[in-house]
Amino acid sequence: GSLICEVLLHNDVVQQRIGHSAMEVTAALSSSASVSVNAMMKEKLKRLQLFLADFEGIMVVEINRSSQYPVAVEMNQGCSLSD
């Protein structure tokens, strides 16, 4: 395998993981959102951060010359026995 130190996550990957779109996250973290909605979203993002810190699995990555970083378009926890 290769070592990639930094990668961007596609919006779809984040949405699949936390169950909210980028727009919903932004709205929940805005100053006009209720305290409970804000706290709930921060907790979901904290869990996402922990998942990413401990992630071991297969990641489908797109590399494009116009972007400085590769973009993860799919993430699957764990590995099959054939890997």
* 51 within domain boundaries: yes
Produce one character per residue of 23-33: b if its CB has 16 or more CB atoms within 10 Å, e if not: eebeebeeeee
Domain containing 34 equals 8-77
* 83 within domain boundaries: no
* 37 within domain boundaries: yes
Q: How far is CA 30 from CA 36, 37, 48, in A?
A: 12, 10, 19
* 34 within domain boundaries: yes
* 82 within domain boundaries: no
pLDDT tens per residue, range 14-72: 999 999 999 999 999 988 889 999 999 999 999 999 999 999 898 999 999 998 999 99
